[in-house]
Amino acid sequence: MNNSMITIKNVNKIYDNTTALHDVSLDIKQGEFIALVGMSGGGKSTLLRLIAGLEQPTSGSVTINDSSTDSLMRVMFQEDRLLPWMSVLDNLSFGSKDKNTKAHARQLLDLVELGDYANHFPNQLSGGQKQRVALARALMTDPKILLLDEPLGALDALTRRKMQDLILDICQKQNLTTILVTHDVEEAARMADRIVVMKNSTNSYEETCPKNRNVGQIGLVADRVLGEILEEPTLEKQTA
């Protein structure tokens, strides 16, 4: 159970003259839900893209400890990135005519409560619906690792909350290893097993979240993490 799924060792990533990542080491266990938080430009997306294999590190190594190949990892981007010329169903299957693929796509659309929208085009959907389609698409090949780059950033608070619950539910049921990049410390504290703060291009701070947390604990964790990001005294420290 405790074997690590993703091992990041002394990773540096340098673009021209910007250091996006500096000496990042991180071990992520199978089935763990990690939240990456931090200031804008802190290197969160870069780390995610390195894990996804969309880019290579300048030095250091990113290892995925699983022998299975292609369908292992799926990324859900900040924008839905749906193909506007394909129906919702075809967006999941990339237009595949295969019966099983289509049936699987329909199942996933039911899961994200969009079963009635299979033949709609993306521009006929609301922002939240599009993100649910993108989530369903990411789940199509039964991935083991789900990489989420601020997927809920553009949604209103209510839809966002529903999506958080949906994602959590799916990740738990399918025992996915998940990395969620977010600006929202509250969201991180609600969803993650472990919060990793990215600051000055490296992972400067970590916080393990309690299991079955209540609203009060979520607030405290969020506050502590925010304090770390902003380097301000936290509520706890002030009152202590």
Partner 1 sequence: MQKPVTLTTTRKNFHLPVDKILPFLIPIIVILFWQVSSTLGWLSSSVLPSPMAVLQDGIKLTVSGELPKNLSISLYRATVGLLIGGGIGFVLGFINGMSNTFRLLFDSSIQMFRNIPHLALIPLIILWLGINESAKISLVAIGTMFPVYINTFHGIRSVDPDLIEMGKSYQLTKSQMFFKIIFPAALPQILVGIRYALGVMWTTLIVAETISASSGIGYMANNAEDFMDMETVVLCIVVYAVLGKISDLVAKSFESLLLDWQHTGRSNA
Written as one string, the DSSP assignment of 14-70 is EETTEEEEEEEEEEEETT-EEEEEESTTSSHHHHHHHHHTSS--SEEEEEE--S--G
Distance CA 20, CA 212 (A): 35
| Least separation in angstroms between CB 107 and ligand ATP | 32
Q: Please report whether residue 8 would count as binding ligand ATP according to CB under 6 A.
A: no
Is 77 a residue that touches partner 1 (CB under 8 A)?
A: yes
Distance CA 103, CA 23 (A): 45
How many residues touch ligand ATP (CB under 6 A)?
A: 11
Asked if 45 is part of the footprint of Mg ion (rule: CB under 5 A), the reply reads yes
Query: Minimum CB separation from Mg ion for residue 2, in Å?
Result: 30
Nearer to ligand ATP, 41 or 95 (CB): 41
With CB under 5 to 8 Å by kind, the binding choice for 139 among ligand ATP, partner 1, Mg ion, none is none
Q: Tell me if residue 145 falls in helix, strand or coil.
A: strand
What is the x/- site pattern for ligand ATP, positions 35-74, by CB under 6 A? ---x-xxxxxxx----------------------------
Where do runs of H (alpha helix) occur along the chain? 44-52, 88-93, 99-111, 127-139, 157-173, 185-191, 215-230, 235-239
- The residues that touch Mg ion, with contacts defined as CB under 5 A, are 45
- The residues that touch ligand ATP, with contacts defined as CB under 6 A, are 15, 18, 20, 38, 40-46
